[in-house]
Amino acid sequence: MVEPEVNLSITYDAVIIGSGAAGGMAAHVLTSHGFKVLLLEAGKKLPIEHELRSMEWPYDNRYRGELPPDRHSLSFNEYTIRRPPYGPGFEKSKHLHSYIGDSDYTKNICVDERENPYTGTNYAWVRARCLGGKTNIWGRLALRLSDYDFKAKDRDGYGENWPISYSDLAPYYDKVDLHLGIMGVKENLPHLPDGIFQRPQKLNCAEVTLKQGLQKMGRTLTQYRAGVTSEGLAHNKYRSRCYGRGACERKGGCDIHAAFDSPTGLIYPAMDTGNLTLRTNSVAREITVDPNTAKASGVRFTDAVTKKDYAAKAKVVIVAASTLESARLLLLSKSRQHPNGIGNSSGHVGHNFCEHIMGPGVYGRVKERVGKPPTLDDGRPGGFYLTRFRNLAEKHPKFIRGYGFEGGSGCSMFPPGTQAPGIGASFKEEIRKNQGAYIGMGAFGEVLSRYENYVDLDPNIKDKWGIPVLRFHYKFGDNEHGMAKDMADTAQEMFEAAGFEIVHINKRVLTEGWSIHELGTARMGSDPKTSVLNQFEQSHDLKNLFVVDGSAFVSASCQNPTWTIMTLCWRSCDYLADEFKKGNL
């Protein structure tokens, strides 16, 4: 891998802030167009295979895979009882992490909450500051959005349509599928378009039973569409095909990179072009503006370790720091020309913040599986996806938009059922006999994009590097709570239809933010008064400023966003390269 020296005396063609799904994709597309690119990442480059250790047995790990005792990760109760910032009250723990940072495999990937505080309403904000960001540990469900999402306003009158249609994105979804690899089964659903799939995994027997029960109800259960290569990628030497090595449900990623992550999938290949320069430990503080042209001129950043300040110059600035960090950076970048923050003449930066609501679901037992010899069920990236069925042909009286379920069943390394009542020989035998008999699923539903749900800068609190932090003004509304009730009801109904014994119906809504699918804080649109970006994720205010992550979303859909973030980004960067060559930026 060629890694050019960082040279801050030159003007790069483009500087990208953030190295996750969006930043990695921008680096890939622009370097392939011949751009000289500087990629800034706030965190460090971790020895990621050493962090993940995907095949380590728990008994070979000092803490059996759990968080070392001098660290603490926030629980649902703590997120509920306490208000941010989440640092105070945990002084005994050397490091404090979000709920995802609760294993020995994610502890160095997730940020320390105390170094990175935030304020306002309760929010389980998961951040990964390291090369690749959250793609190192993402859930891998790789779904396409459809015109049921892009043109949702036409169907129910709510919110705004996207400034694009599925037909604009379809060719780019295809490119992403082929470049990164995706497993799945074609289903011919208008609301969940098929991709160019590699060999799918199979369902197990309990999942097939559920699928058959749902078919009678006209609902579709399909194999987990995973952003994982099952057949390998001839053009990528950094990633292996999936070998179903098991324990994929463990929090942590894939150390052979069969599951997509931004470094091996996008950044290392981009470096091989010789066009990409990477600087880690670079905490962006401000997008700078040329006082003469009023255009973006680069980025001012602080070295995370030395705390020294630097400036990078570029002809185009691409923000890909994650939905919330990107909004924060735009708001931080105040200048004479852009007093409300760069690219924020609309006043919409930080607003229309949306995501997925989760929590409701069901847990059941398949009697036919009780007492059967153990099977290998966790050697696959996920179980199943039960696709949206609400507000497609019919209108639900209580809420608009929809939700889908993720679920799975079968044996796992740590058995289910250890929290069942009882002790002794019968308790032990019950766990053994039932270890492969449980099936569960949980819903992800669209949270409506609302102007009133927003983030702004806290006037008082600063992070470890002296940068003002985000303040949340964000709550689920009536539509979300109506939907959550329906999620629990339909989950029960579907398990009953499949003939499963219901063990537990979960009606509890998890803390805002739990889905880690935050979106919409710099939305696209055709009207510069009500949107921040145009359909190519280009600022309405500054032609050479692009925001290419989840913040560009106009609505949340109920389908997981990562694949669409990368698809939009690819399309936008193609447009950017074209405009750049024409001298229009």
Partner 1 sequence: MSNTDSFNLKQDRRQWLKTTASAVSASVLPLPSMAAETTRESPAPATGQTAKTAAESNPASHFFTPAQHTMVEELSETIIPADKHSGGAKAAKVADYIEQCLRETTNDEDRALWHEGLRLVDLMSKHYTGKSFVDATPEERLSILTVLSDNEHVTELPEVRFFRELKRLTTRGYYTSKIGIHDELEYKGNRILMEYVGCDDPTPPTTS
Residues engaged in binding partner 1 (CB under 8 A): 55, 57-59, 62, 64-66, 68-70, 92-94, 185-188, 194, 201-205, 207-208, 211-212, 215, 243-247, 373-380, 411-415, 418, 421-425, 427-429, 431-432, 435
Complete edge-to-edge strand list for the sheet that includes strand 468-473: 119-120, 468-473, 454-462
Closer Cβ to partner 1, 186 or 504, answer by number: 186
**Measured from the CB of residue 126, what is the shortest distance to partner 1 in angstroms?**
23
Please state, as a whole number, how many other Cβ atoms lie within 10 Å of the Cβ of residue 406.
20
**Measured from the CB of residue 442, what is the shortest distance to partner 1 in angstroms?**
21
Which tokens hold the place of 303? 């070295």
In degrees, rounded to 5, the angle at the alpha carbon of residue 216 between the alpha carbons of residues 213 and 219 is 85
Closer Cβ to partner 1, 375 or 526, answer by number: 375
Which tokens hold the place of 115? 């170094």
**Measured from the CB of residue 467, what is the shortest distance to partner 1 in angstroms?**
29
Maximum pairwise Cα distance, the chain: 79
Place of tokens 């990409």: 276
| Cβ-Cβ contacts under 8 Å for 559 (sequence gap 6 or more) | 143, 144, 145, 149, 192, 388, 404
Closer Cβ to partner 1, 266 or 498, answer by number: 498
**Measured from the CB of residue 412, what is the shortest distance to partner 1 in angstroms?**
8
**Measured from the CB of residue 56, what is the shortest distance to partner 1 in angstroms?**
9
CA distance 265 to 130: 15
**Measured from the CB of residue 202, what is the shortest distance to partner 1 in angstroms?**
3
Closer Cβ to partner 1, 24 or 65, answer by number: 65
Q: CB–CB of 443/360 below 8 Å?
A: yes
Closer Cβ to partner 1, 418 or 460, answer by number: 418
Cα separations (Å) of 495 from 68, 212, 221, 408, 423? 38, 11, 12, 13, 28
Closer Cβ to partner 1, 6 or 189, answer by number: 189
Please state, as a whole number, how many other Cβ atoms lie within 10 Å of the Cβ of residue 235.
8
**Measured from the CB of residue 208, what is the shortest distance to partner 1 in angstroms?**
5
Closer Cβ to partner 1, 86 or 474, answer by number: 86
The DSSP code for 58 is G
CA dihedral 413, 418, 423, 424 (to 10 degrees): -10
Closer Cβ to partner 1, 241 or 313, answer by number: 241
**Measured from the CB of residue 426, what is the shortest distance to partner 1 in angstroms?**
10
**Measured from the CB of residue 69, what is the shortest distance to partner 1 in angstroms?**
4
In this structure, which amino acid lies at residue 17?
I
Closer Cβ to partner 1, 61 or 273, answer by number: 61
Q: CB–CB of 401/445 below 8 Å?
A: yes
| Beta-strand pair 356-365/438-446 | antiparallel
| Beta-strand pair 95-97/71-73 | parallel
| Beta-strand pair 384-386/403-409 | antiparallel
